[in-house]
Amino acid sequence: MNLLQNDWLTWLLLPLSGNAHHELSFWASWHGRIMVLCWGVLLPLGVLIARFFKVMPSQNWPTVLDNKAWWTAHLHGQGAAIVLAAVGVALIWNTAGGATPLARWHGYTGWAVTALGIAQALAGFARGSKGGPQDARVRGDHYDMTPRRNTFEKTHKSLGYAALLLALVTVFMGLVVADAPRWMLLAISLWWLSLIAAFAWLQKQGRCIDTYQAIWGPDTSHPGNRIAPIGWGIRRYTAASFAKQFKKTKETT
């Protein structure tokens, strides 16, 4: 065994199959890079922002309401990522061979992920109006939590997480089909573990604050505060419990 074979760096640089030679078409490599950027980085970060940053850590809630930073990031970030992801799929469309069952499965789940992504963006635009207590003439879908808003929240949240899970599987299949270098699989796995850890930590901090409260505050005169929030693990606060929660968190960290 020579020195080079023992070298962990050499091991990491080899393709997953262990073959010394690795050829990938220009289209497939750009398809892979773009898909990892969109489905591995931009879209999951956009989801974390939408879930945990509706009230910013520095924000004096509920004196300061409706901070639109999360909204701007989610709308533009997810919108741009879906357009870019469509370009990424277009790059490989019809150049793919489907030579192995795994390549064919990557194609099937890849098309499903693409369809889910487009459906998510369309659902976003079909979410209805916002409204608010000041606007008694235009009762907004969100302020009144109409069936339309209710359906949007249920479908957008569940399909969004389903899309991310399927994308994760698709990316790993893509890496195997392309016989990518080992370091890529390792780096992408570590990145996803960090995302899961960040999710768990923010969830435990109580940062998943109800959208409705983030926008209109905790007062029960607002109709949406009289029904349960839609989804799992969503926190509601009063001004006092919010101050207590985040003061306590700061002291203990």
Q: Which residues bind ligand HEM (CB under 6 A)?
A: 28, 31-32, 35-36, 39, 43, 47, 50-51, 74-75, 78-79, 82, 89, 92-94, 96-99, 103, 106-107, 110-111, 113-114, 117, 120-121, 124-125, 127, 153, 156-157, 160-161, 163-164, 167, 170-171, 174-175, 177-178, 180, 211, 231
Residue 153 CB, nearest approach to ligand HEM (Å): 5
Q: Which CB sits closer to ligand HEM, 7 or 164? A: 164
Query: Could you tell me the smallest distance in angstroms from the CB atom of residue 197 to ligand HEM?
Result: 17
CB closer to ligand HEM, 158 vs 247: 158
Query: According to the 3-state scheme, what is the secondary structure of the chain?
Result: CCHHHHCHHHHHHCECCCCCCCCCCHHHHHHHHHHHHHHHHHHHHHHHHHHHCCCCCCCCCCCCCCCCHHHHHHHHHHHHHHHHHHHHHHHHCCCCCCCCHHHHHHHHHHHHHHHHHHHHHHHHHCCCCCCCCCCCCCCCHHHHCCHHHHHHHHHHHHHHHHHHHHHHHHHHHHHHHCCCEHHHHHHHHHHHHHHHHHHHHHHHCCCCECHHHHHHCCCCCCHHHHCCCCCCCCECCCHHHHHHHHHHHHHHC
Closest to ligand HEM by CB, 3 vs 168, is 168
- Rounded to a whole number of angstroms, the minimum distance from the CB of residue 35 to ligand HEM is 3
* Nearest distance, CB of residue 104 and ligand HEM, angstroms: 7
